[in-house]
């Protein structure tokens, strides 16, 4: 009987599977370490050049210092923030910053979308030449372009006044100075925004438009109800870039062309922060302004990122 049972084959699934030994902690760390080792240099630079200065700025905002090494740094608590919020220049600079952002949106979203839609059919070498010409202003150094624009906007017979047959002091009157800064900055940003929109349009599957046209949709309806909704994450990204970087984009032009004038007409929050720190030599007040700027733009960025994630999820 035992011999009979010995000859009956046992299914392989019924046999006990020997458990493989669990790798040691050292081996598991060695397997998981390579991705973090690749990221380590970038993280180290991020800590050294971003988070460390941010922490130092936050600490300095609670002190008073005139940037002289021989002068002691005096703790003042929340006095810098209280003094900053009482200054009328802060609210005025925030208003000017909002005006700059609104003025740049046509250059970063409106015109690029129109140009991207109109040039979708450009192919081959013509497309390369077109993209190179559009992106060229982005490669020009702001200080170098400011020198050229100062000559073009010269009230004593500059090229702009001669072309349009007008006589406007573009850089020394409050209204024209703000328009000049917005226009020159928009000229710089336009090429980058057009390429971003073109990349977003290239990533949209053309089958959506073909299916809609088979159902009788016109080109305008396809653009309105299919192309623009699918392009919305790209547009939110450009809006985020405009909100967060507009003050930095305008800074070299303001410092070169108007120095914040005339009558502080072109002084935005970024230039005001720099003015407190390096013109007034009030490092504590400038640090407090920088922290308020960081928190304010951080909240706006968080809202736009949340909106971008919602739009991306909707597209999927």
Tens of pLDDT, residue by residue over 161-175, are: 888 888 888 888 888
- Please give the pLDDT value at position 58: 92
Distance CA 163, CA 157 (A): 10
Each residue's pLDDT tens digit, 254-302: 988 988 888 888 998 888 888 888 888 888 998 999 899 889 888 988 8
CA pair distance 56, 44, nearest whole angstrom: 17
Q: Is residue 311 part of a domain?
A: yes
The candidate with the shortest Cα–Cα distance to 74, out of 64, 84, 60, is 64
Helices (H) and strands (E) in the chain, counts: 15, 2
CA distance 240 to 303: 9
Check pLDDT > 70 for residue 98.
yes
Is residue 239, in this structure, part of any structural domain at all?
yes
Number of C-beta neighbours around residue 142 at 10 A: 19
Residue 122 has φ and ψ, to the nearest 5°, of -75, 130
C-alpha angle 258-264-270 in degrees, rounded to nearest 5:
80
Predicted local distance difference test score (pLDDT) of residue 313: 46
**CA 128 → CA 76, 101, 191, 192, distances in Å?**
57, 30, 13, 14
Spatial contact of 159 and 80, defined as CB atoms under 8 Å apart: no
Structure tokens, 50: 């971003």
Number of neighbours of residue 288 by Cβ within 10 angstroms: 28
Residue 214 in contact with residue 271, Cβ under 8 Å? no
Q: Which domain holds residue 195?
A: 87-315
CATH code for the domain of 114: 1.10.3720.10
- Contact yes or no for 66/281 (Cβ under 8 A): yes
Q: Helices in 16-123 by DSSP H: which ranges? A: 25-46, 52-60, 79-86, 88-105, 111-118
Alpha carbon separation from 113 to 52, 187, 200, 275 (Å, rounded): 39, 15, 10, 36
In this structure, are residues 250 and 100 in contact, taking their beta carbons and an 8 Å threshold? yes
pLDDT score of 6: 52
Residue 158 dihedral angles phi and psi, to the nearest 5°: -70, 165
Looking at residue 7, its pLDDT comes to 54
Quick one: pLDDT band at residue 316, thresholds 50, 70, 90?
A: very low
Which CA distances in Å does 136 have to 46, 141, 157, 170, 250? 30, 11, 27, 24, 18
Rounded to two decimals, the pTM is: 0.80
Mean pLDDT for all residues in the chain: 83
| Residue 180 lies inside a defined structural domain of this protein | yes
Q: Quote the number of domains for the chain.
A: 1
What phi-psi label fits residue 258: left (phi over 0), alpha (psi between -120 and 50 degrees) or beta? alpha
Q: What is the DSSP string of 209-224?
A: HHHHHHTT--HHHHII
Query: Is 65 domain-assigned?
Result: no
In a domain, 58, yes or no: no
pLDDT tens figures, 304-315: 888 777 766 444
Q: Is residue 71 domain-resident?
A: no
Phi, psi of 64 (to 5 degrees): -115, 130
How far is Cα 312 from Cα 306, in angstroms, rounded to an integer?
A: 10
Structural domain contains residue 251: yes
Distance CA 230, CA 232 (A): 6
The band of 4, judged by pLDDT with boundaries at 50, 70 and 90, is very low
pLDDT value for 109: 92
């Amino acid at each position: 009987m035992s011999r009979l049972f010995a000859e009956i084959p046992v299914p392989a699934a019924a046999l006990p599977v020997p458990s493989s030994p669990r790798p040691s902690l050292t081996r598991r760390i060695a397997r998981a370490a390579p991705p973090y080792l690749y990221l380590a240099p970038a993280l180290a630079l991020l800590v050294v050049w971003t988070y460390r200065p941010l922490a130092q700025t936050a600490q300095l905002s609670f002190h008073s210092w005139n940037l002289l090494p021989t002068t002691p740094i005096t703790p003042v608590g929340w006095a810098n923030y209280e003094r900053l919020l009482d200054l009328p220049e802060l609210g005025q600079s925030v208003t000017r910053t909002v005006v700059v952002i609104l003025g740049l949106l046509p250059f970063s979203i409106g015109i690029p979308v129109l140009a991207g839609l109109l040039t979708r059919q450009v192919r081959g070498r013509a497309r390369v030449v077109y993209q190179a010409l559009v992106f060229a202003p982005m490669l020009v150094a702001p200080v170098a372009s400011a020198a050229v624009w100062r000559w073009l906007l010269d009230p004593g017979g500059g090229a702009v006044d001669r072309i349009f047959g007008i006589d406007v002091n573009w850089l020394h009157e409050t209204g024209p100075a703000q328009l000049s800064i917005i226009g020159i900055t928009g000229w710089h940003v336009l090429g980058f925004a057009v390429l971003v929109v073109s990349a977003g349009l290239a990533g949209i599957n053309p089958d959506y438009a073909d299916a809609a046209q088979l159902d009788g949709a016109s080109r305008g309806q396809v653009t309105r109800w299919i192309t623009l909704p699918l392009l919305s994450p790209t547009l939110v990204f450009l809006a985020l870039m405009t909100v967060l970087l507009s003050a930095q984009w305008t800074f070299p032009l303001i410092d070169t062309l108007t120095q914040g004038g005339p009558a502080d007409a072109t002084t935005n929050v970024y230039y005001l922060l720099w003015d407190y720190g390096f013109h007034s030599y009030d490092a504590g007040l400038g640090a407090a302004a920088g922290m308020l700027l960081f928190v304010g733009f951080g909240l706006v960025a968080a809202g736009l990122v949340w909106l971008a994630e919602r739009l991306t999820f909707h597209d999927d």
